[in-house]
Structure 1
């Protein structure tokens, strides 16, 4: 047993010897005790490499100093700090190797806003019959963890009511440890999740003269600048023409052409107001269905024309004449009954 221990300490003797040689100012008295210093340093290397903490390490150095001599205090304290830093590096490298990558599966890689994101981490063919902790990662950080039982190989994570910030690369790792640091450096194969917005403001313009009169047709053009992501590669999605924040018309948004067109036929005064357009990328139009919604708003003011004003006046006059005739007939009929 002692021979095995000495054999395991051999590389630490060499490390301690090389370290102590770097101190040229060691006095003659110190050089006489170099053998003991090397032995103690090697043992400190050995104990530190197997996980001894700084406090225990410092106590060991104090005992060694009392044995060798108090005059070596500065050198040993310096060695203590160096070896402690070295042990932390070795420990962190050991922790990294304790992480393994897992497969990740998704029911849908493109989902709509406010829906559910379901991700499954699989350790099938990778994990031994042991209980591990599975970590769901987004980018280089793990965001959720669950314990996986010995007889299970799949762990499901569900994110409720996803938002646009949930878009990104997701992956899975597992470990026997339950306290991994936030950043995961283990190489893994991610999948990309894209969250589609339910409402996308669009730009609207009016293809008409500045003065719109009653009876004129008013045409609107609704466009989206930049790339448009749709759910399920929809070619037709919903778009709505709105007036004063009220849905007025529903139309199909042409994805290849990146536009939708709306027309108000025979505009009247009550059609005046602020118009805007909004697109719904997450809602596809089914076959036989024609339905669609703004970024900016345009003001349309429909002015009355003379002919429409005369027609309206004639209607009022005709209504008053009819009302007067009705009253006269009623009065005459009433007088005839009395006589």
Structure 2
């Protein structure tokens, strides 16, 4: 059987679980019995790098926010976060990632340039691209944005599934359209322009449809959804409509295929026993809309319920081998696994000498 191509993954939430960030957290350098991602399992699965998300959480988890409907589910939209509290969390998470990089002594690297991105391979350090999932911590004059960029931030999602000063995220719901509220605020439009100037990739995952179209009109970079799927296959608010997928393709952007079972399955059931063929068929649809240059991987490891077939990073070859069995050639697999991410990030960062 051919060797699986190296993988660059568009999204994980492992920073929330790091030993460096919280008491009792996981040691990323050791194999863990819980969660989806650590260095040993990344190596086993052929993972050479990915986007590592910083994300602020509310001080207390919401209660009774899920409603089961006759046809699906609705989750009450999360309220805005206090920007000061969000800032403290994001800075603590970035410090944890920086400390982990130092402790790893060459096994991990925060990737800041296209040259470093191109150099990632199975024999070198695991590449960590710093991503901000939700700009709740960013101030109106963008001082924190510039500070984070100086420390390695290279990708930013304007919102998580809540409102902030920049725009409105979608509530989690099925079946429902992603057209759930107003577009970007004036500050949000200014943030898009600032990210374009800095060469920070803008992620439209979790953004509502009107906000998406605002980004499409304003941004001069490829449109990117780091961890989203097709609404036509699974009509979750978190997934992109055919029109949105068409706009991503036209911009020469990319959609990172999200493994979360409730956004992959046509019925949105939270069932880890989802067959790998269900994942393949969803990738098939994305490819039919985006072409071979427009689809990548965006697992959402440590942030969602995974299918048992790709229960953690060590199982990435299972998905790639399934795609190969269903007729995907090696060139296409190489683009899905890492080539498309390298292309889009290089074009967005614009840092070549």
What TM-score does the superposition give when structure 2 sets the normalisation length?
Answer: 0.19
Which of 1 and 2 has higher RCO (CA within 8 Å, sep 6+)?
2
Larger radius of gyration: 1
TM-score of the pair, normalised by structure 1: 0.19
